[in-house]
A and B are shown apart, each in its own frame.
Chain A
Amino acid sequence: MQWINVILQGVLVGGLYAMFAAGLSLIFGVMRLVNIAHGDLIVLAAYIALVVTQTLGIGPLAGLIVVVPVMALIGYALQWFVLNRTLGDDLLPPLLVTFGLSVIIQNGLLTLFTADSVKLQAGAIEVATIRLGEGVYVGVLPLLQFCVAVGVIAGLRWIFYRTPLGRAFRATADDPAIAQLMGLDNRHVFALAMALSLAVVAIAGVFLAVRANFDPSQGPARLIFGFEAVIIGGLGSLWGTLAGGLILGVAQAIGAHLNPGWQILAGHLAFLVVLAVRPQGLFPKVRA
């Protein structure tokens, strides 16, 4: 029974990691941009949620109504005014600029909010649990977080494969020059992709902030988790990203259960094993 609980916990946390990863994967897929600031943007979203919930006096989940559009707007502006200028044949400039952005966000948050860790209070839902069977319980909040993660992945897939916007994303990723001939302004398409990515980041950030304490220095670790989930799942596959998040979550949960100090290590080990055995990831997207 204990192990069932452990694995269940891991699966539910894995949903959060999948949300970290989905935004990262989206951006890389559309414009070959590795966003080093992704983790810090998650933490930024958490702080924006903190400010929103405190000033408006609403719960974190209701706060999503404000935080998601705000982050999407930040994403569009960030891409339009900064990152679009760095894109080109060379992968290095966007890497350096997002690295710089990461430093700026961390220090900006440190100045505004200090290094003290904070947490979003969601109220009674935080401690509510559902009994699934003899000795097997799940928290309502982790379960909700997991369902939202599945919904986000399904929603992204729907956008990607069923809407004109997704068509524009895929076409621009295939060939930016030819996409322009179709009347698509690459800069606008890229900015929309970043807006979508940061909308997902906003959801992930709020759940992160409700789940545990956070502080301005936590971004890079979230980035690593996101990266690992993407690589485990296989580049370009959204369901693979979800699977990658779950594997990472379960590995961490098992590690933590064996020894509390092994939580992070176990996740990294699972990542290294996949990288060694299947470098292309578990569900790589086959490109014709």
Chain B
Amino acid sequence: MPEAPLLAVCGLDAFYGDFQALFGISMEIARGEAVAVIGANGAGKSTLLKSIAGLMRSRPDAIAFEDGAIGGMAAYAVAARGIALVPEGRGLFPSLTVEENLLIGGQLGRRGAWTLRRIYELFPVLGERRALASTALSGGQQQMAALGRALMANPKLLLCDEISLGLAPIVVRDIYARLPAILAEGTAIVLVEQDVVQALKAAQRVYCLQEGRVALAGAAKDLTREAIAAAYFGV
């Protein structure tokens, strides 16, 4: 990486009460790259994303974004810096229509390539259903809406927490097929996935978490199945 990383995580710990979920995680994300974070259930993948997004407290110097420490910041301040999280389980607002969900994603007024019109071009089905309640969408459409809502903030870094969760393989492929269009706008993407094959195809680099620690890191094309299996299961 020739230039300074977009995001630098350095020795990040995270706790749920007395339970420690992350142990000294370090990782770097460059501008515009796609990075996959894989690992078994409970490995700390979602906790890592929540910590970066500011939903969990962390040491101020543990997370740096564009040369500024964002570790101790509240989630709304992190969002204003240009980090958007597509939360696990989509987290659409049930009281809002599809279009309102997208609009509230853009309420910070960060300028960039993504507008309501562009989102509807990326996911035409959302345009057709813009006036419906977000709860009236199918699972895959809800995931598209959650992705669109995050894009409306024109983030520099997009964090996706298990976007394949609970969706049919064909729908997952459909959503993953849109990621290149997002990367093309210069947005970096972190994909947290249990679906390793899908993640390896979409990402240039991979971090594998195991029990709150980085067990393996490297370029997606260099990692062997055996190395990943060993890091994944700890065998």
Binding site for B on A (CB under 8 A): 164, 167-168, 170-171, 173-175, 177-186, 287-288
B residues less than 8 Å from A175 (CB atoms): 91, 93
Q: Does A167 contact B107, Cβ atoms closer than 8 Å?
A: yes
CA distance A76 to B76 in the complex (A): 19
B residues less than 8 Å from A180 (CB atoms): 54-55, 74-76, 79
Q: Does A164 contact B96, Cβ atoms closer than 8 Å?
A: no
Q: Does B153 contact A288, Cβ atoms closer than 8 Å?
A: no
Q: Is B35 an interface residue (CB 8 A)?
A: no
CA distance A287 to B136 in the complex (A): 12
If the complex has contacts A180-B55, A182-B153, are A170 and B79 also in contact, measured as CB distance less than 8 A? no
Which interface residue of A164, A171, A181, A288 has the most chain B CB atoms within 10 A? A181
CA distance A179 to B79 in the complex (A): 10
Q: Is B61 an interface residue (CB 8 A)?
A: no
What's the minimum C-beta distance from A31 to chain B, rounded to whole angstroms? 14
Q: Does B93 contact A171, Cβ atoms closer than 8 Å?
A: yes
**Of A178, A183, A185, which one neighbours B93 at CB under 8 angstroms?**
A178
Q: Does B80 contact A183, Cβ atoms closer than 8 Å?
A: yes
Q: Is the interface of A mostly helix, strand, loop or mixed?
A: helix
What's the minimum C-beta distance from A283 to chain B, rounded to whole angstroms? 17
Q: Does B107 contact A178, Cβ atoms closer than 8 Å?
A: no
Q: Does A182 contact B95, Cβ atoms closer than 8 Å?
A: no
Q: Does A183 contact B108, Cβ atoms closer than 8 Å?
A: yes
Q: Does B103 contact A167, Cβ atoms closer than 8 Å?
A: yes
If the complex has contacts A168-B107, A183-B107, A288-B133, are A178 and B100 also in contact, measured as CB distance less than 8 A? no
Q: Does B95 contact A173, Cβ atoms closer than 8 Å?
A: yes
What's the minimum C-beta distance from A89 to chain B, rounded to whole angstroms? 14
If the complex has contacts A171-B95, A171-B96, A174-B96, are A183 and B153 also in contact, measured as CB distance less than 8 A? yes
A residues less than 8 Å from B145 (CB atoms): none
Q: Does B85 contact A167, Cβ atoms closer than 8 Å?
A: no
**Of A177, A182, A185, which one neighbours B104 at CB under 8 angstroms?**
A182
What's the minimum C-beta distance from B80 to chain A, rounded to whole angstroms? 5
Q: Does A181 contact B107, Cβ atoms closer than 8 Å?
A: no
CA distance A168 to B107 in the complex (A): 9
Q: Which residue in chain B gives the minimum CB-CB distance to A236?
A: B95
CA distance A171 to B100 in the complex (A): 9
> What are 16 A-B residue pairs whose CB atoms fall within 8 Å in the complex?
A167-B100, A170-B93, A170-B96, A173-B95, A177-B55, A181-B53, A181-B85, A181-B87, A182-B105, A182-B108, A183-B107, A184-B76, A184-B107, A185-B74, A185-B76, A287-B95
A residues less than 8 Å from B20 (CB atoms): none
CA distance A180 to B91 in the complex (A): 12
If the complex has contacts A168-B104, A184-B76, A288-B133, are A178 and B96 also in contact, measured as CB distance less than 8 A? no
Q: Is B186 an interface residue (CB 8 A)?
A: no
A residues less than 8 Å from B76 (CB atoms): 180-186
**Of B84, B104, B105, B135, which one neighbours A288 at CB under 8 angstroms?**
B135
What's the minimum C-beta distance from B116 to chain A, rounded to whole angstroms? 14
Q: In chain B between 120 and 178, which residues have their CB closer than 8 angstroms to a CB of chain A?
A: 133, 135-136, 149, 153
CA distance A173 to B96 in the complex (A): 11
CA distance A182 to B79 in the complex (A): 7
Q: Which residue in chain A gives the minimum CB-CB distance to B86?
A: A181
B residues less than 8 Å from A178 (CB atoms): 87, 91, 93
CA distance A89 to B42 in the complex (A): 25
| Closest A-B pairs by Cβ, 4 of them | A180-B75, A183-B108, A183-B79, A170-B95
CA distance A184 to B54 in the complex (A): 13
Q: Does A174 contact B107, Cβ atoms closer than 8 Å?
A: no
CA distance A151 to B119 in the complex (A): 37
B residues less than 8 Å from A171 (CB atoms): 93, 95-96, 104
CA distance A186 to B75 in the complex (A): 10
What's the minimum C-beta distance from B52 to chain A, rounded to whole angstroms? 11
Q: Is B94 an interface residue (CB 8 A)?
A: yes
Q: Does B75 contact A177, Cβ atoms closer than 8 Å?
A: yes
Q: In chain B between 18 and 34, which residues have their CB closer than 8 angstroms to a CB of chain A?
A: none
B residues less than 8 Å from A181 (CB atoms): 53, 55, 75-76, 79, 84-85, 87, 91
CA distance A174 to B136 in the complex (A): 16
